[in-house]
Amino acid sequence: METKTAAASWAERESRALMYTYRRYPIVAERGEGCRLWDVEGKVYLDFLGGLAVDSLGHAPRVVVEAVQKQAATLIQTSNLIYTLPQIELAEFLVERSGFDRVFFCNSGAEANEAALKLARKWGKRSRNGAYRLITTENSFHGRTLGTIAATGTEAYRRPFEPMPEGYDFVPFNDVDAIADAVKEETVGIILEPIQAEGGVNMPSDQFLPDVRQLCDERNLMLIFDEVQTGVGRTGALWAHTHWGIEPDVMTLAKGLASGFPIGAALAKEPFAVFEPGDHASTFGGNPLACAVGLAVQREIESLNLIEHVAVAGLYFTERLNDLASRQPLIREVRGKGLLIAVELNDEIARDVLDDVRDRGLIANALSGRTLRFIPPLIVSQEEIDEAVDILEASLAAR
Amino acid sequence: MSDEMVAALKKAAVAALAAGVTMFFQEYTRQQERSSRLASARR
């Protein structure tokens, strides 16, 4: 009689109890440490998925464990009807290190973007004679709530849930003329990711973001940058937009902010921070536990000079991949910034390659049939980068 | 500049990057171990 593995048994139990929303990898994770993940059968993986660009300090980082333990033993949740210290301290920390004046805390990237969409509507009513339409880009990704899929430039995410909330105009990424042509009297602003992360790690041209900023200034439009994935050091700068020397009016954050503890934030410059009591709220948003962890993570990132490490490690990883690409014709292009890196293949084999490298002990993800993405913890070492590239090389060579 | 010189410069640049990544990680590991020892001592 065939004996089920521990993983198969857990997968079967899940299939009976949970809604079928995820095509999961055949891994049942048990524990993690740094860039390594162990499954219930004891197999160890090199994790270059990092909780989908979330685990900035890796798995089970001491600073997070200690912050959770300390704050959980002190105060977890009060609601936002009461002042709490970690929320104020984290807001001050973020404001001091960015060009923004005010913060709204929530629990995820989608919620952060939802807050930004509402800020745009409110600002439009107050300052732009009721303008409400937002220009967004094709292949963008802003979340899975009804509001944020309406702003997401991937039709497959929207179609099953149509009709969509109205008020979004889609233009190609990297095309400022298309944006200018799409601006109408009712247009209140533009929402985009500085680097399209989920859509393929699509890089902006050098001039695209500065040109969009200039257009917004000329036409009195609110510029929202979704830095849910690119923010907080992922690209080798604290905020990705600083690579291009410009600032948006509103910025959203989530993923790496608390290195795995759920949190989201929308930051706005004073003229755009138009929420008043009753406009927007979150029961759990900004709770003491999430904010204490976020603050501990951000202080750790700063004290380690981790962002400089990301810039150097990202260049090293990219160079190793480019070197592999020079010898391996299956690789078409390597692109990205910092530790947000995509490898574009010459054929529709990304998902097969993903399965194969996983069998060899490396976890990554595929953004399409041709595109692999690597988003390891920001603390990744040279040996771990070498190991990942060696696994990819062996996998492609075996095809 | 000859191809050999470009290749040598590139190799040196990649080695410097690798050294930078290694230096960070060694210091990070040292700090983690120190923090772990302090935590054990507290307990």
Q: Where are the domains of chain A?
A: 6-60+305-397, 75-303
Given an 8 Å threshold on Cβ–Cβ distance, is B24 in contact with A62?
no
pLDDT at B42: 77
Q: Give pLDDT < 50 ranges for chain A.
A: 1
> What is the spatial distance between Cα A91 and Cα A272, in angstroms, rounded to a whole number?
17
Taking only the tens place, the pLDDT of each residue in A84-96 is 999 999 999 999 9
* Mean pLDDT on B7-13: 92
pLDDT at A176: 98
Half-sphere exposure of A67 (CA within 13 A, CB side): 23
Q: Are A342 and A367 in contact (CB under 8 A)?
A: yes
According to DSSP, the residues that pair with A113 across neighbouring strands are: none
Fold assignment, A75-303: Aspartate Aminotransferase; domain 2 (3.40.640)
Q: CA nearest A113: which of A122, A126, A104?
A: A104
Which of B14, B22, B25 is closest, CB to CB, to A319? B14
Chain B contact set for A319 (CB, 8 A): 10, 13-14, 17
3-state secondary structure of A226: strand
Q: What is the pTM of this model?
A: 0.96
pLDDT at A4: 75
pLDDT at A334: 98
Containing A264, the helix (H) or strand (E) segment is strand A264-268
Fold assignment, A6-60+305-397: Aspartate Aminotransferase, domain 1 (3.90.1150)
pLDDT at A6: 86
The number of residues making up chain A comes to 399
pLDDT at B41: 85
Chain A contact set for B13 (CB, 8 A): 319
> What is the spatial distance between Cα B6 and Cα B9, in angstroms, rounded to a whole number?
5
pLDDT over 60 (residue B40): yes
pLDDT at A2: 52
Given an 8 Å threshold on Cβ–Cβ distance, is B25 in contact with A316?
no
Chain B contact set for A63 (CB, 8 A): 35
Amino acid in the structure at residue A340:
L
Residues 6+ apart with CB under 8 A from A231: A238, A239, A240, A251, A252, A253, A255, A256, A257
pLDDT at A227: 98
Q: Are A84 and A290 in contact (CB under 8 A)?
A: no
pLDDT at A3: 64
Name the packing angle between helices A62-72 and B3-42 (round to 10°). 30
* Mean pLDDT on B8-12: 92
Q: Are A114 and A145 in contact (CB under 8 A)?
A: yes
Taking only the tens place, the pLDDT of each residue in A154-208 is 999 999 999 999 999 999 999 999 999 999 999 999 999 999 999 999 999 999 9
pLDDT at A57: 98
B residues 3-42 lying closer than 8 A (beta carbon) to A = 10, 13-14, 17-18, 20-22, 24-25, 28, 31-32, 35-36, 39
> What is the spatial distance between Cα A141 and Cα A154, in angstroms, rounded to a whole number?
7
